[in-house]
Amino acid sequence: MVTVYSLTALLFAYLFGSIPTAVWLGQAFYGVDVREYGSGNAGATNTFRVLGKKAGIAVMIIDIAKGYTATNLAYLIGMSVTGPQNSAQFVNYQLALGVTAVIGHLFPVFAGFRGGKGVATLFGMILAVHFEASMLCVLIFVFVLLVTNYVSLSSICAGFTFPLSIVFLFQVSIKSEVLYGMVVCILILVTHQKNLERLLKGKESKVYLFKKKAS
């Protein structure tokens, strides 16, 4: 059911997603627009590369919070519209709000519609919809990152972990959630197309969380 409350929630979800964390943080504290350096994306990964770990972690946390907060706006719409919590209808509203936030991150109205790849915001959405699956994604992300030092490859592996885990491990029966998991895979592959090309050519940049690259 489309109501004033649900439409307002979607608007706020988009605005939450549109907060250009990397751009604003870079300009405010470093005098740098991260979109002009590195991969040109306004996201946590490029912030790590351009501004370092402290800035990258801050951007990542805030971008996750954007997706988590936007998705949980479903609780404010009202059960008369969304149905009971954890019902298929309620999850559908969560997914709609989360996707809207991701769209906001990709095409932020506050930053000339030039955003990032949406991985952190996607994770915030997953965290709100299925906590256990999101924690498994974190483990896979950290493991791949520690082994390879490629954030892009870690993000791709974590993205594929979500649909596989909700289908085979957690056996989720809500079709829209399963479909969303598949869409996550496609979206991550599309937004990381250039990264995949660089990975195949051995030219992808690495991120070292716990040690500096040897000179």
Which two three-digit tokens encode residue 41?
Answer: 């994306």
Fill in the DSSP letter of residue 212. P
Residue 211 falls inside a structural domain = no
Q: Is 9 part of a structural domain of the chain?
A: yes
- Through-space distance between the first and last CA atoms of the chain, rounded to whole angstroms: 59
Confidence at residue 33, expressed as pLDDT on a 0 to 100 scale: 94
Domains in the chain, number: 1
The reported pLDDT for the residue numbered 212 is 57
Reference 59, options 101, 94, 105; nearest CA is 105
Residue listed under structure tokens 């506050």:
110
Supply the range of the domain harboring residue 158.
4-201
pTM of the model as a whole:
0.85
The predicted structure's pLDDT at residue 8: 93
Is the CA virtual torsion 119, 120, 125, 129 positive or negative?
Answer: positive
Is residue 214 one of the residues assigned to a domain? no
Is position 208 within any domain? Answer: no
pLDDT reported for residue 215: 44
CA atoms of 181 and 68, how far apart (whole Å): 16
For residue 24, give both structure tokens. 């604003």
Segments of the chain with pLDDT less than 50: 214-215
Q: Is 60 exposed, middle or buried (0-12, 13-18, 19+ CB in 10 A)?
A: buried
What are 68's two structure tokens?
A: 């988590």
Other CB atoms within a 10 A radius of the CB of residue 8 amount to 13
Residue 33 falls within a domain, yes or no? yes
Does residue 155 sit within a domain? yes
Cβ-contact 164, 90 below 8 angstroms: no
Structural domain includes residue 207: no
CB distance 17 to 105 below 8 Å:
yes
Domain membership of residue 75 (yes or no) is: yes
Calculate the CA 72 to chain-centre distance: 15
Question: Do 94 and 74 meet the contact criterion of CB atoms below 8 Å apart?
Answer: yes
pLDDT attached to residue 211: 62
- Contact yes or no for 100/46 (Cβ under 8 A): no
